[in-house]
Amino acid sequence: MTETPNGMDKIKEQLLDAAQMHVPFDGWSETAFRAAVADAGVDPELARAACPRGAVDLAVAFHERGDAQMVKRFNETDTTDMRIRDKVALAVRYRLEAVDDKEIVRRGMTLFALPTYAADGSKLVWGTADRIWTLLGDSSDDVNWYTKRASLAAVYGATVLYWLGDETPGDAATWEFLDRRIGGIMRFEKLKAQVNKSLLLKPFTVGPNWLGRQVRPPHLRTRPDMPGSMAHGTAG
């Protein structure tokens, strides 16, 4: 029995829905995957075809689903009069609020901390940062494209870790922590702009700026690879 690509996506969604009640207890494990297959009533062979790596593929799908929910909610919000830093903070907050159970994210941290899957986790966090900057209309086409995403990926990862341990009402402490981190990014971007405009410091930027002109984000390049794009963080 075969399924179309869309059919496989549907099966993965069904498995992901079913797995979420098992992950807090069994982690993103083969045990949780098999339980999800049974609960969803999916043929085991089709389930394996949709998720060759079993629960690992479901963990990736869980993170990507959260990204999609963040994008949808952000696009439904009027951010016309908001500052960039506030838009960034709002997007990160929406991303975290897309998760109903922190334990599922905690289990994801355990999975993506393993050397075998560390690259998957880094790629997911980078993807979240990229989605946020894309939402904000970032049009940089040089090394700034990478530095913005690398900085935000680091902020996102740190915020997830803080959020997992936050027991304040409404995660209020997390949003304060996030605001401080976003402030750091904005100060760094402002400093870069000042340095680039300074005649005194101009000689020191020649090398980095030349390198930046040689670098192109994936959407401006013919090759799909993204060197230097793996920012360590926490997927969830």
pLDDT of residue 139: 81
Whether residues 119 and 69 fall in one domain? yes
Residue 106 lies in a domain: yes
Whether residues 176 and 110 fall in one domain? yes
Whether residues 48 and 71 fall in one domain? no
Residue 194 lies in a domain: yes
Residue 190 lies in a domain: yes
pLDDT of residue 220: 53
Residue 230 lies in a domain: no
Q: Which domain holds residue 12?
A: 1-52
pLDDT of residue 219: 57
pLDDT of residue 232: 42
CB–CB of 63/55 below 8 Å? no
- Assign 3-class secondary structure to 94-150: HHHHCCCCHHHHHHHHHHHCCCCCHHHHHHHHHHHHHHHHHHCCCCCCCHHHHHHHH
Question: What are the distances in angstroms from CA 26 to CA 59, 94, 214?
Answer: 13, 27, 47
Domain count of the chain?
A: 2
Q: How many CA atoms lie within 13 A of 130 on its CB side?
A: 16
pLDDT along the chain (236 residues), means of 10: 71 97 98 98 96 98 98 97 94 97 97 96 96 92 85 94 96 96 72 48 44 52 42 55
Residue 88 lies in a domain: yes
**d(Cα 235, Cα 93) in Å, to the nearest integer?**
15
Whether residues 5 and 68 fall in one domain? no
pLDDT of residue 218: 62
Whether residues 31 and 8 fall in one domain? yes
Residue 235 lies in a domain: no
pLDDT of residue 197: 52
Instruction: Select from 10, 31, 52 the last residue of a domain.
Output: 52
Structure tokens at 93: 């907050």
Whether residues 2 and 118 fall in one domain? no
Whether residues 43 and 112 fall in one domain? no
pTM as predicted:
0.80
Whether residues 13 and 124 fall in one domain? no
Whether residues 109 and 213 fall in one domain? yes
Whether residues 74 and 182 fall in one domain? yes
Whether residues 12 and 118 fall in one domain? no
Residue 175 lies in a domain: yes
Q: CATH number of the domain that 168 lies in?
A: 1.10.357
Whether residues 48 and 72 fall in one domain? no
Residue 232 lies in a domain: no
Cα 88–Cα 91–Cα 29 angle in degrees, nearest 5: 125
